[in-house]
Chain A
């Protein structure tokens, strides 16, 4: 979905504040995702070698990134031998044009798409809509947000911010289900019936890619609903879109990644379907679009390269106490949460300069990451880069500079502290007012007469 969903220039703090207007909803959102985090914990603890698996996965991905161009060429050669047409896209626009070109070639104006965060990142749906092509998202969660005219708020659970009653109402409006029916199995069945028609009528299917194997040229798509398989098997043309970082060197490496992916994502041992695609069936066309869109740039940075190890499990979102209490849409980008906050500034520093600050740097994200991306360290490093590049509000810059000047001069610091505490004691309204964001919902600490430094001087001469 497009950036137009968000008010131009809206920051995470503003969008999160709006989300927090309804505290009961925040509680519900937080508890739902915390429940997923707990499922993930139980599943991780069922694998005694869990930490070794994470380390192994991390090292395999490091290896991929260190020789990415070689693995990409090997993958292209193998896939081509398998009869797959491989395309290269420098950016989102080229990706969208390649997909549109394939559709045009087949004279197709409607198609089905299973969940692909890459196509969200590239805003493919809007692009194709502008070209007069009708796209139906077939993943249930994606279909819900598509009907609602929203982007996904979570990369694995796209409509996690929707309550079942609201989905019942949405389906009543769009699919004609009875008003007031919010029974999840019923609604799922209704969506399935509606989608079944689309599957049968559409000749082109787009899927994402979870893992691509350089050794064999095959790719793996993990879904719980089987909609990727349904789309791909019924279609005359299967287009798989993938970021260039999705590669694994060998097929045997899937034994590491398939064990980690879904345990980390939803706390399941494995997705219902882990579908391996290697070559088109007779009479079918298969295309792979390899997309860079800023990844080479990220690859060239020692500090931020590691973000490309990401396998899009969303464990960092489920564990993030900020994400759970601000909702995915507050990140105003396709990939929300901690990982999104270190990916997005690479695409547009100005637009996403707020995201690395939408974190307390608590570090929980790095601990759950199945490929051990040092997410919170990269958030800290992005802050330094963004400030140096000037993407910081003047008021903030001035106040930090003033604070730093005071803290760099012990005499001024002691004097300032004494004066400040005196003002707080004698004129508390100076800080206890609505201009002070701390005071809005929290009391200020009690100002003491004596600092520790003053006490020490008086008591330990």
Chain B
């Protein structure tokens, strides 16, 4: 592990902060276990994506300034969400501190890509004796290339898959459609409620069909959507963010 002298800022998505604090705690603990010094700037709120994807990118100046100021002068920024990471990578800018925003755009990593590409993690002390299905969030996969995309004629790889294979007792299940969208899509989930739910039901069904007892992924927003569907169906299957699994010791 090369975490020893790195100072990393933890960016916690707003809905994770409010509804899934255990995901941020697991991320923090996991990074610390790997020898990384982690700071959590308290003035952060949101990456701005909910507004921008709804067509209101012109309103995101406030969020952009908050992010830029909160993460000034850090080696890396790590976020347990492919979607928020991608949004900041593509759209973060600042009128008052433009070079600081540029720096953040180049230094922000989604958690699993940080573990694989920066820390070069080859071994994890984690134990999770369950059958797990991996949901590839679109922004993490097609945006950040956390895994190869089935549309392309190119070699197969998966950063989340590589990490999950280091977890003792964990069995990954194969899916019929390995990278189809779950239908969350930000405000799409309410604006296009019918299609959103249908997409989510179909994704969940694929995991259930192959015997998964947990569904994991690098984006809690997709998992929140699928969790809502699982709970409504009174399914015993649970969702767990990948950070929680990687941080799960025996």
Binds B, one of A47-55, A83-91, A144-152: A47-55
- On whether the beta carbons of B17 and A400 are closer than 8 Å, the reply is no
Considering the complex, give the chain B residue whose CB is closest to the CB of A454.
B21
- On whether the beta carbons of A368 and B43 are closer than 8 Å, the reply is no
- On whether the beta carbons of A407 and B153 are closer than 8 Å, the reply is no
Question: Which of under 10, 10 to 19, 20 to 34, or 35 or more describes the interface residues of B?
Answer: 35 or more
- On whether the beta carbons of B42 and A453 are closer than 8 Å, the reply is yes
- On whether the beta carbons of B153 and A45 are closer than 8 Å, the reply is yes
What A residues does B198 contact at CB under 8 A?
A: 20, 23, 26, 325
What B residues does A442 contact at CB under 8 A?
A: 197, 200, 225, 228-229, 231-232
Binds B, one of A9-17, A98-106, A265-273, A302-310: A9-17
Instruction: Decide if B190 is an interface residue (CB 8 Å cutoff).
Output: yes
Instruction: Decide if A447 is an interface residue (CB 8 Å cutoff).
Output: yes
Q: A364-B138, A364-B151, A384-B55 are in contact. Are A407 and B42 (CB under 8 A)?
A: no
- On whether the beta carbons of A13 and B191 are closer than 8 Å, the reply is yes
How far does the Cβ of B146 sit from chain A's closest Cβ, in whole Å?
Answer: 13
Binds A, one of B45-53, B102-110, B126-134: B45-53
- The residue that A359 contacts in the complex, of B46, B180, B185, B225, with Cβ under 8 A, is B185
How far does the Cβ of A171 sit from chain B's closest Cβ, in whole Å?
Answer: 31
Instruction: Decide if B227 is an interface residue (CB 8 Å cutoff).
Output: yes
Considering the complex, give the chain B residue whose CB is closest to the CB of A439.
B228
What B residues does A367 contact at CB under 8 A?
A: 142, 149, 151-152
Contact indicator per residue, chain B 148-187, by CB within 8 Å of chain A (1) or not (0): 0111111000000000000000000000010111011110
Q: Please, how many angstroms separate the alpha-carbon atoms of A453 and B152 in the complex?
A: 40
Binds B, one of A124-132, A206-214, A413-421: A413-421
How far does the Cβ of A200 sit from chain B's closest Cβ, in whole Å?
Answer: 44
Binds A, one of B57-65, B113-121, B208-216: B57-65
Instruction: Decide if B1 is an interface residue (CB 8 Å cutoff).
Output: no
- The residue that A404 contacts in the complex, of B51, B53, B189, with Cβ under 8 A, is B51
What A residues does B18 contact at CB under 8 A?
A: 417, 420-421, 448, 451
Instruction: Tell me which residues from 1 to 48 in chain A have a Cβ below 8 Å from any Cβ of chain B.
Output: 12-13, 16-17, 19-20, 23, 26, 30, 34, 41, 44-45, 47-48
How far does the Cβ of A94 sit from chain B's closest Cβ, in whole Å?
Answer: 33
- The residue that B17 contacts in the complex, of A325, A358, A440, A451, with Cβ under 8 A, is A451
Most chain A beta-carbon neighbours within 10 Å: one of B18, B45, B152, B181: B18
What A residues does B45 contact at CB under 8 A?
A: 407-410, 413
Considering the complex, give the chain B residue whose CB is closest to the CB of A449.
B21
What A residues does B192 contact at CB under 8 A?
A: 12-13, 16, 322, 357-358
- The residue that A407 contacts in the complex, of B14, B57, B151, B197, with Cβ under 8 A, is B14
- On whether the beta carbons of B55 and A363 are closer than 8 Å, the reply is no
What A residues does B75 contact at CB under 8 A?
A: none
Instruction: Decide if A189 is an interface residue (CB 8 Å cutoff).
Output: no
Instruction: Decide if B124 is an interface residue (CB 8 Å cutoff).
Output: no
Considering the complex, give the chain A residue whose CB is closest to the CB of B193.
A437
What B residues does A400 contact at CB under 8 A?
A: 50-51, 54, 56, 59
- On whether the beta carbons of A404 and B183 are closer than 8 Å, the reply is no
Instruction: Decide if B66 is an interface residue (CB 8 Å cutoff).
Output: yes
What B residues does A20 contact at CB under 8 A?
A: 194-195, 198
- On whether the beta carbons of B24 and A410 are closer than 8 Å, the reply is no
- On whether the beta carbons of B25 and A455 are closer than 8 Å, the reply is yes
How far does the Cβ of B28 sit from chain A's closest Cβ, in whole Å?
Answer: 8
Instruction: Tell me which residues from 152 to 202 in chain A have a Cβ below 8 Å from any Cβ of chain B.
Output: none
How far does the Cβ of A429 sit from chain B's closest Cβ, in whole Å?
Answer: 16
Instruction: Decide if A321 is an interface residue (CB 8 Å cutoff).
Output: yes
How far does the Cβ of B152 sit from chain A's closest Cβ, in whole Å?
Answer: 6
Q: Please, how many angstroms separate the alpha-carbon atoms of A396 and B192 in the complex?
A: 13
- On whether the beta carbons of B25 and A41 are closer than 8 Å, the reply is no
Q: Please, how many angstroms separate the alpha-carbon atoms of A364 and B182 in the complex?
A: 13
What B residues does A26 contact at CB under 8 A?
A: 198
- On whether the beta carbons of A363 and B66 are closer than 8 Å, the reply is no
Q: Please, how many angstroms separate the alpha-carbon atoms of A301 and B57 in the complex?
A: 19
- On whether the beta carbons of A410 and B43 are closer than 8 Å, the reply is yes
Most chain B beta-carbon neighbours within 10 Å: one of A45, A321, A364, A384: A321
Instruction: Decide if B224 is an interface residue (CB 8 Å cutoff).
Output: yes
- On whether the beta carbons of A407 and B19 are closer than 8 Å, the reply is no
What B residues does A48 contact at CB under 8 A?
A: 153
What A residues does B231 contact at CB under 8 A?
A: 442-443
- On whether the beta carbons of B188 and A456 are closer than 8 Å, the reply is no
Instruction: Decide if A299 is an interface residue (CB 8 Å cutoff).
Output: no
Considering the complex, give the chain B residue whose CB is closest to the CB of A392.
B55
How far does the Cβ of B55 sit from chain A's closest Cβ, in whole Å?
Answer: 3
Q: Please, how many angstroms separate the alpha-carbon atoms of A30 and B206 in the complex?
A: 14
Q: A407-B45, A448-B19 are in contact. Are A361 and B53 (CB under 8 A)?
A: yes
Q: A51-B153, A387-B55, A455-B25 are in contact. Are A13 and B138 (CB under 8 A)?
A: no
Instruction: Decide if B74 is an interface residue (CB 8 Å cutoff).
Output: no
Q: Please, how many angstroms separate the alpha-carbon atoms of A359 and B200 in the complex?
A: 14
- On whether the beta carbons of B180 and A455 are closer than 8 Å, the reply is no
- On whether the beta carbons of B199 and A322 are closer than 8 Å, the reply is yes
What B residues does A380 contact at CB under 8 A?
A: 52-53
Q: Please, how many angstroms separate the alpha-carbon atoms of A411 and B150 in the complex?
A: 43
Considering the complex, give the chain B residue whose CB is closest to the CB of A357.
B191
Considering the complex, give the chain A residue whose CB is closest to the CB of B54.
A400
Instruction: Decide if B16 is an interface residue (CB 8 Å cutoff).
Output: yes
Q: Please, how many angstroms separate the alpha-carbon atoms of A452 and B16 in the complex?
A: 8
- The residue that B44 contacts in the complex, of A44, A47, A387, A410, with Cβ under 8 A, is A410
Q: Please, how many angstroms separate the alpha-carbon atoms of A371 and B46 in the complex?
A: 35
- The residue that B153 contacts in the complex, of A50, A326, A364, A453, with Cβ under 8 A, is A50
Q: A26-B198, A358-B192, A384-B57 are in contact. Are A410 and B229 (CB under 8 A)?
A: no
How far does the Cβ of A187 sit from chain B's closest Cβ, in whole Å?
Answer: 30
Contact indicator per residue, chain B 57-91, by CB within 8 Å of chain A (1) or not (0): 11111110010000000000000000000000000
What B residues does A408 contact at CB under 8 A?
A: 45, 61-63, 66
**Can you identify 9 A-B contacts, CB atoms within 8 angstroms?**
A13-B194, A16-B194, A362-B138, A362-B185, A367-B149, A386-B55, A421-B18, A445-B227, A451-B21
Given contact pairs A319-B151, A364-B142, enumerate 11 new A-B contacts (beta carbons under 8 Å).
A321-B181, A325-B195, A325-B199, A361-B53, A403-B51, A404-B59, A404-B63, A407-B14, A407-B45, A441-B193, A451-B21
Which B residues lie at the A interface, using CB under 8 A? Answer: 12, 14, 16-21, 24-25, 28, 40, 42-46, 48, 50-63, 66, 138-139, 142-143, 149-154, 177, 179-181, 183-186, 188-200, 202, 224-225, 227-229, 231-232
